Structure 1
Amino acid sequence: MGRVAIVTGASAGIGAATSRLLHERGFHVYAVARRLERMSPLAALGIDTVRADVTDEAARAALVDRVAARSGRIDVLVNNAGYGSFGALEDVPLDEARRQFEVNVFAAARLCQLVLPHLRAQGSGRIINVTSVGARMYQPLAGWYHATKYALEGLSDCLRLELRPLGIHVVMIEPGGIATEFPGVAGERLLETSGHGAYADYARRYAATLTSQAKGISSPSVVARAIARAATARRPRARYPVGRGAKAALAARWLLPDRAYDRVLTGVFTALANATTRGAGHP
């Protein structure tokens, strides 16, 4: 049946674009998401679509069992499912913080555990974790989101060394600004969490910049192409920064000491917030 890939978070954005491109490249793709109806365009292309919540243990196990039984092998796992819940640390309930770790970190880790027996038996395979440029930098009012991405990268680095002797590659994809649902969802959650109270003004201005950043940024297809390269290259790189601003942000973080980077980040944020406020007609 050729190479077999599992792609999570496939109902929209990066996951949907990746599922389409891998299918075009000859992979038998299992596209996974909670919203099955949103994946009907993928199903129309002949892609196997699977309704599953990646935080549900029974659903995760059933997914991997189904793929292994139907296809006889698993070659690539793309851990793309994730979300951003923004808000001041003081305001974010710990239950929400735990859920964000459950989706962004523990679900990915558990899927790795479930597919690894199959990859080890084959002596080959790829685990591709979609992290973020936010795993190498930071920004205000997004502490828990960045914490999950830092954690996923640390986990991936360790896993890469563990699995290299077994012929299994572990790759991180680090998107920058990508035109997905993420900015809108993050902005809404930010306002819900910190739009009132001590951080209200800061939160409203930052939420407006998240919305404005959704214009003129890179297409999800840019990330899908990087994932396809990671899935097919003979010797894939450990990291693929991709999308608007990703390489520049990582270079600045590497070159600048913390205090200088803080000043640059604060200046960029203030400029974006002021420009957005003026564009909305506010003084």
Structure 2
Amino acid sequence: MPTKTALVTGASSGIGEATARKLQSLGFTVYGAARRTDRLADLATDGVRPLAMDVTDDASMQSGIDRIIAETGQIDVLVNNAGYGSYGALEDVDIDEGRRQFDVNVFGAIRLAQLVLPHMRSRRSGTIVNISSMGGKIYTPLGGWYHGTKFALEALSDCLRLEVKPFGIDVVVIEPGGIATEWGGIAADLLLKTSGQGPYAAQAQAMAKSLKAETSANRNSPPSVIADAIAKAVTASKPKTRYALGFGARPLIAARRLLGDRQFDALISRAVGMPR
């Protein structure tokens, strides 16, 4: 079969790195994108093609897509994985930081979808994988901007799936739970920097402790769990629209669906140790 081409953003670590390696092992020509290509050196050694890309810079994204098309003539898979968690009380988070959170987690993903869709439509095939989170279905204290981006990405993915279905293109949403990456520690540090002092300090301390505990918890799932699900989705003739995987994802999403708002508020507040 002809070699397929995949673009994976946020490929320098965690889920992105694991996904790039997995797809490369399956015979895909894989471009691993990150802002700093020096962090892609190990991937390049293993056959993944490093690509400098900033998902908040339109020229950077356009240049990256142009390079892939020039070198391979096609893009069969886009994995929108680049993102981060901006935590802090909504009262405290600078509005420019809120915009940046949406720029990275939402607008970057959708802009890349816009750029690859003409090439996928011309071939009447392709798969766009958007890495959301169980945080796209549930919520936690002091995570308003982060959860807002993931809720938005879920809705945009649903609309996009309907729009591109007639062209033979699939849109898949991945909803990771607790994954053993550096994500939680970074989010905790941002949270303490933003709300570690002032009226929300007690909440920030509790939530940061919870995020850091999750980062170091042995129960968290390895990034390979998500990479395997992505590989399954992009090689299936009819992939599922959503894959919820990783520690806590399915039970917490189910709890949100079944419990009332006040009940879920109480559950999450207890789970993360919010002060009363």
**TM-score strictly above 0.5:** yes
Matches within 5 A, 1:2-41: 2-41=3-42
TM-score w.r.t. length of structure 1:
0.95
Q: Residues 45-95 of structure 1: CA distance to partner in whole angstroms, max 9, x if unpaired? A: 111011111111111001001101100111000000000010000000000
**2:239 is the alignment partner of 1:236:** yes
Look up the match of 1:270.
273
**How many angstroms does 1:235 deviate by?**
0.4
Whether 2:70 is the aligned partner of 1:69: answer yes
Amino acid at match of 2:69: A
The 10-residue stretch of structure 1 (19-28 or 258-267) with the greater mean CA deviation from structure 2: 258-267
Give the distance between the partners of 1:91 and 1:192, measured in 2 at CA: 10
Equivalent residue runs for 1:200-239 within 5 Å: 200-214=201-215, 215-216=217-218, 217-239=220-242
Deviations 1:207-265 (A, max 9, x none): 01111111211111111011111111110000000100000111111111111111111
Contact 2:18 2:223 in 1 (8 A): yes
Which amino acid in structure 1 is aligned with residue 72 of structure 2? Answer: S
| Cα shift readout 1:134-173 (whole Å, capped 9, x = no counterpart) | 0000000000000000001100000000011110000000
Query: Distance between the aligned counterparts of 2:121 and 2:112, measured in 1?
Result: 14
Aligned partner of 1:247 in structure 2 is 250
How do residues 59-98 of structure 1 correspond to structure 2 at under 5 angstroms?
59-98=60-99
TM-score of the aligned structures, taking structure 2 as reference length: 0.97
- Determine the C-alpha separation between the residues in 1 that align with 2:155 and 2:82: 18
Q: Percent identity?
A: 55
Structure 2 residue 162 is the aligned partner of structure 1 residue 198: no
The size of the alignment, in residue pairs, is: 273
Q: SS of the residue aligned with 1:270?
A: coil
RMSD: 1.2
Counterpart residue identity of residue 27, structure 2: G
More displaced stretch, 258-267 vs 87-96: 258-267
Return 5+ residue gaps in structure 2 as ranges.
none
**Counterpart Cα distance in 2 of 1:149 and 1:252:** 18
Q: What stretches of structure 1 move > 6 A for 4+ residues in a row? A: none
1:270: how far off? Answer: 2.0
1:117 alignment counterpart: 118
